[in-house]
Amino acid sequence: MDGLVQLQKQLVDYTASLFHEGFLDDQFNQLQQLQDESNPDFVVEVVTLFFEDAERLLNELTKTLGQPSTDFKKLDAHVHQLKGSSSSIGAHRVHRICISFRNSCEEQNVEGCLKNLQQVTHEYSLVKSKLETLFRMEQQILAAGG
C-alpha cells in the first residue's frame, strides 16, 4: 500500500517539523502516549477543549484590554488560565508568550499587554491550523486503512 506509506511518512515528517519549529513540545508526546484503544480520541478531545478554552480567553482578553481602565488583575487571571492550558497540551509558543504576557500584567504595562495579546493571538491561530492539519492527516491515514 504505497499511498498509505506515503501518508504515514508525511505525518511523521510534519509532526517532526512542528516540534522542530517549537510549535509543540514534549508535553504533546505525553498526550499521545495517553491515547490507546480504549481512549482512541483522547488527543483530539483534549486539543479541541484547548481550542474552545483559548478562544474564549482570547475574547475575554481583548474585551478587558478594550476597557478605558485596564483591570490587570482580571487580565492576569485569564492569561494564567491560557498559560496553564497551553502548557498542558504542549502548545509551546503560546505558552511562552503567556509568560511574557503575565510579566506585562505584573508591570501594569498596557502597551506591553497589547503587544502580547497580538502575539498570542497570532501564535494561537498558527498552532490551531497546524494541529488541525495534523488531525486531518491522521484521519486520511485511518481512511486509507492505517
Partner 1 sequence: MAVVALETQFHVLAVDDSLIDRMLIERLLKTSSFNVTTVDSATKALKFLGLVEDELKTFETSVASEIHQDVDVNLIITDYCMPGMTGYDLLRKIKESKSLKNIPVVIMSSENVPSRINRCLEEGAEEFFLKPVQQADVNKLKPHLMKSRTKEEQDQPLINNKRKDMEEIYSPNKTRLRCSS
Q: How far is the CB of 140 from partner 1 (least distance, A)?
A: 26
Contact between 85 and partner 1 by CB under 8 A: the answer reads: yes
- Our CB check for partner 1 shows the closer of 81 and 100 to be 81
Stretch that binds partner 1, among 12-20, 32-40, 116-124, 130-138 (CB under 8 A): 32-40
Contact between 80 and partner 1 by CB under 8 A: the answer reads: yes
Q: How far is the C-alpha of 124 from the C-alpha of 86, rounded, in Å?
A: 9
The binder of partner 1 chosen from 10, 17, 32, 39 (CB under 8 A): 39
Q: How far is the CB of 7 from partner 1 (least distance, A)?
A: 27
- Our CB check for partner 1 shows the closer of 7 and 97 to be 97
By three-state DSSP, how is residue 6 classified?
A: helix
Contact between 61 and partner 1 by CB under 8 A: the answer reads: no
Q: How far is the CB of 46 from partner 1 (least distance, A)?
A: 6
Q: How far is the C-alpha of 111 from the C-alpha of 74, rounded, in Å?
A: 16
Give me the helices (H) in the chain, please: 2-20, 26-33, 42-65, 72-89, 92-106, 110-143
The binder of partner 1 chosen from 56, 73, 122, 136 (CB under 8 A): 73
- Our CB check for partner 1 shows the closer of 7 and 104 to be 104
Nearest to 18 by CA among 89, 84, 81: 89
Q: What backbone phi and psi angles, to 5 degrees, belong to 24?
A: -120, 150
Q: Is 61 exposed, middle or buried (0-12, 13-18, 19+ CB in 10 A)?
A: buried
